[in-house]
Amino acid sequence: MMPGRPAHPAAIDIGALRHAWPGEADILRIDRFHVAAGERVFLAGPSGSGKSTLLGLIAGITPCQQGRVAILGDPVGGMSPARRDAHRAAHIGVIFQLFNLVPYLSALENTLLPLRFSPQRAERVRRTGQTPVTEARRLLDVLGLDETTLGKPATALSIGQQQRVAAARALIGHPGLIIADEPTSALDRESRDGFIDLLNSECARTGAALLFVSHDTALAAGFDRHVDLRDINRMAIAA
C-alpha cells in the first residue's frame, strides 16, 4: 500500500462531478457522494435520471469530464484510459441488468474471466490458497448453482442462473467494490430476494463495498444505507 494512504480508503469518493453526454445538457452534477469501505449502499432513482451514467463513471468505463472520482483511494477520474481499464479489472466487479455473460463461454469460464484480465485478482485468489477453478466452483456453489450447470454454455442457463454466475464473476478475486445495475429486475420475487441476500452476505464476508442500483425501493431493506440519486444530483433537482 502507498505511504500516507489511509488503511481503509473510501470505496467511492466523488466530489464536484459534472457529466454531460455529447450534444446534451448536464445529466449529473454531484457535489459529494461517498461510500465507505465495505459499505453496502442502495441507490435509487427514476428511469433516465443518470444512474447507469454514474456507474459508468465510477467503473471508469466512461471518462470523467470534470470533478473528482476516487475509487478505493485511487483517483480513477484522472487516470489514462488504459490505467482506468486496468484499475477496473483489478478492483471492481460489475453486474448488469441482463445478458451479463459471454455467450460462447461456459458458466465456469465466465466466472474465471476476470482472473485472466487481471493478474492482481488472480494473485489474490492464489493467496487464499485456492486455485482459480476451486475458487470459482466455491463461489458458484455458494450462489446456488449446482455442479451440472457449470459446464453449460451461458446461453443454456436461465436468467436467474445467469445473474448468479454474473455475481460470482463480480466477486471472484476479492475486488474492493461491486457495482450492480438493476441486476434483479428480470427475476421473479423469490429469486430476486435470494439473489440480494446472497450478494449482500458475500460482500459482507469479503469486505467488498456494494453499490446496488434499482428503482424498486422495496429492495432497500438489507442495505447499510439508502440513497436517492435525486438527493445528491443537483441536475435532478433542477429538472
Q: Which residues bind Mg ion (CB under 5 A)?
A: 52
CB of 171 closer than 8 Å to CB of 206: yes
Of the residues 51, 84, 124, 169, which one makes contact with ligand ATP according to CB under 6 A: 51
Number of residues located near ligand ATP, criterion CB under 6 A: 11
- Tell me: does residue 105 bind another protein (CB under 8 A): yes
Cell numbers that stand for 184 in this block:
434483479
- Tell me: does residue 125 bind another protein (CB under 8 A): no
Of the residues 75, 103, 151, 207, which one makes contact with another protein according to CB under 8 A: 103
Residue 2, Cβ neighbours under 10 Å: how many? 7
Those residues whose C-beta lies under 8 Å from the C-beta of residue 95, and which sit 6 or more positions away, are: 163, 166, 167, 170, 178, 179, 180, 181, 183
- Tell me: does residue 26 bind another protein (CB under 8 A): no
Those residues whose C-beta lies under 8 Å from the C-beta of residue 133, and which sit 6 or more positions away, are: 108, 112
- Tell me: does residue 48 bind ligand ATP (CB under 6 A): yes
Q: Pick the piece of the chain touching ligand ATP (CB under 6 A) from 51-59, 122-130, 157-165, 191-199.
A: 51-59
Torsion of CA 142, 143, 148, 154, to 10 degrees: -140
- Tell me: does residue 233 bind ligand ATP (CB under 6 A): no
CB of 160 closer than 8 Å to CB of 166: no
Q: Pick the closer one to ligand ATP by CB: 96 or 195.
A: 96
Query: CA separation (Å) from 218 to 4, 196, 221?
Result: 41, 12, 7
Of the residues 17, 28, 77, 88, which one makes contact with another protein according to CB under 8 A: 88
Q: Pick the piece of the chain touching ligand ATP (CB under 6 A) from 48-56, 115-123, 158-166, 170-178.
A: 48-56
Q: Which does 48 bind (CB under 5 to 8 A by kind): ligand ATP, another protein, Mg ion, none?
A: ligand ATP
Rounded CA gap, 230 and 171, in Å?
A: 29
Give the residues across from 68 on adjacent strands: 15
Instruction: Give contact residues for another protein (rule: CB under 8 A).
Output: 52-53, 55-56, 59, 61-62, 81-82, 85-86, 88-90, 94, 96, 98-105, 109, 113-114, 116-118, 153, 169, 181
Instruction: Give contact residues for ligand ATP (rule: CB under 6 A).
Output: 21, 27, 45, 47-53, 215
